[in-house]
Structure 1
Amino acid sequence: MTAGTSGAEGAREAHEGWRGWREATEDALYGPSGFYRARPEGPAGHFRTSVHASPLFAGAVARLLCRLDEALGRPASLAFVDMAAGRGELVTGVLAALPADVAARTRAYAVEVAGRPAGLDHRIEWLAEAPAGVTGLLFANEWLDNVPVDVAEVDATGLARRVLVRDDGTERLGEPVSGAEAEWLARWWPLGGEEGLRAEIGLPRDTAWASAVATLDAGLAVAADYAHTLGARPPFGTLTGFREGRETPPVPDGSCDITAHVALDACASAGSRAPVHTPPDALLRPQRAALHALGLTGARPPLTLASTDPAAYVRALASASEAAELTAAGGLGDFLWLLQPVGAVDAGALLVDVPDHEEQ
Structure 2
Amino acid sequence: MEQALYAKDGFYRSTGQPARHFRTSVHASPRFAAAVLRLMPDAPQIVDVGSGDGALLAALATEAELIAVEIAPRPAGLPARIAWTDRLPETIDGLVIANEWLDTIPVDVVEQASDGPRLVMVSPDGTECLGDPPDAADLAWLERWWPLTGPGRRAEIGRPRDEAWADLVKRVRSGVVVAADYGHTLGTRPFHGTLTGYRNGRQVQPVPDGSCDITAHVALDACAASVPETRLTTQRDALRALGILGAKPPIELAGTDPPQYLRGLRQAGEEAELIDRDGLGSFGWLVHSSSARIGL
If the length of structure 1 is used for normalisation, what is the TM-score? 0.80
1:93 to 40, 46, 59: 59
Q: Structure 2: which amino acid aligns with 1:174?
A: G
1:122 to 70, 80, 85: 80
* CA separation of 1:263 and 1:242: change in aligned 2, threshold 3 A: same
Greater Cα shift, 28-37 or 141-150: 28-37
Partner of 1:151: 109
Runs of 4+ in 1 over 3 A off after TM superposition: none
Partner of 1:46: 21
Partner of 1:58: 33
Partner of 1:110: 68
Q: For the residues of structure 2 that align with 1:261 and 1:87, how far apart are their CA atoms?
A: 22
* CA separation of 1:128 and 1:41: change in aligned 2, threshold 3 A: closer
Structure 1 residue ranges without an equivalent (≥5): 1-24, 97-102, 273-279, 352-360
Q: Is the contact between residue 153 and residue 199 of structure 1 (CA under 8 Å) also seen in structure 2?
A: yes
Equivalent position SS for 1:138: strand
Q: For the residues of structure 2 that align with 1:40 and 1:127, how far apart are their CA atoms?
A: 16
Partner of 2:49: 83
Q: Is the contact between residue 268 and residue 340 of structure 1 (CA under 8 Å) also seen in structure 2?
A: no
Q: Structure 2: which amino acid aligns with 1:47?
A: F
Equivalent position SS for 1:162: strand
Larger radius of gyration: 1
The Cα offsets for residues 179-225 of structure 1, whole Å up to 9 and x where unpaired, read as 11111111111112x11001000111111111111110011111100
Partner of 1:36: 12
Partner of 2:3: 27
Structure 2 residue ranges without an equivalent (≥5): none
Q: For the residues of structure 2 that align with 1:258 and 1:49, how far apart are their CA atoms?
A: 15
Q: Is the contact between residue 16 and residue 72 of structure 2 (CA under 8 Å) also seen in structure 1?
A: no
The Cα offsets for residues 67-97 of structure 1, whole Å up to 9 and x where unpaired, read as xx2xxxx34xx21110000111111112x3x
Partner of 1:282: 230
Equivalent position SS for 1:175: coil
Q: Is the contact between residue 82 and residue 91 of structure 1 (CA under 8 Å) also seen in structure 2?
A: yes
Q: Is the contact between residue 158 and residue 195 of structure 1 (CA under 8 Å) also seen in structure 2?
A: no
Q: For the residues of structure 2 that align with 1:129 and 1:269, how far apart are their CA atoms?
A: 25
The Cα offsets for residues 151-189 of structure 1, whole Å up to 9 and x where unpaired, read as 01001x251111100001111100112311111111111
Equivalent position SS for 2:254: helix
Q: Is the contact between residue 31 and residue 271 of structure 2 (CA under 8 Å) also seen in structure 1?
A: yes
Partner of 2:152: 196
The Cα offsets for residues 257-299 of structure 1, whole Å up to 9 and x where unpaired, read as 10000011111222x2xxxxxxx32111111111111111111
Partner of 1:138: 96
Partner of 1:17: none
Give yes or no for the alignment of 1:312 onto 2:269. no
Q: For the residues of structure 1 that align with 2:243 and 2:164, how far apart are their CA atoms?
A: 30
Alpha-carbon offset, residue 26 of structure 1: 1.3
Partner of 1:345: 292
**Bigger proportion of residues as helix:** 1
Residues 234-273 of structure 1 aligned to structure 2 (within 5 Å): 234-270=190-226, 272=227
Greater Cα shift, 301-310 or 280-289: 280-289
Q: Structure 1: which amino acid aligns with 2:189?
A: R
Partner of 1:291: 239
Q: For the residues of structure 2 that align with 1:29 and 1:281, how far apart are their CA atoms?
A: 31
Partner of 1:329: 277
Q: Is the contact between residue 29 and residue 257 of structure 1 (CA under 8 Å) also seen in structure 2?
A: yes
Equivalent position SS for 2:121: strand
Q: Structure 1: which amino acid aligns with 2:153?
A: L
Q: For the residues of structure 1 that align with 2:145 and 2:292, how far apart are their CA atoms?
A: 27
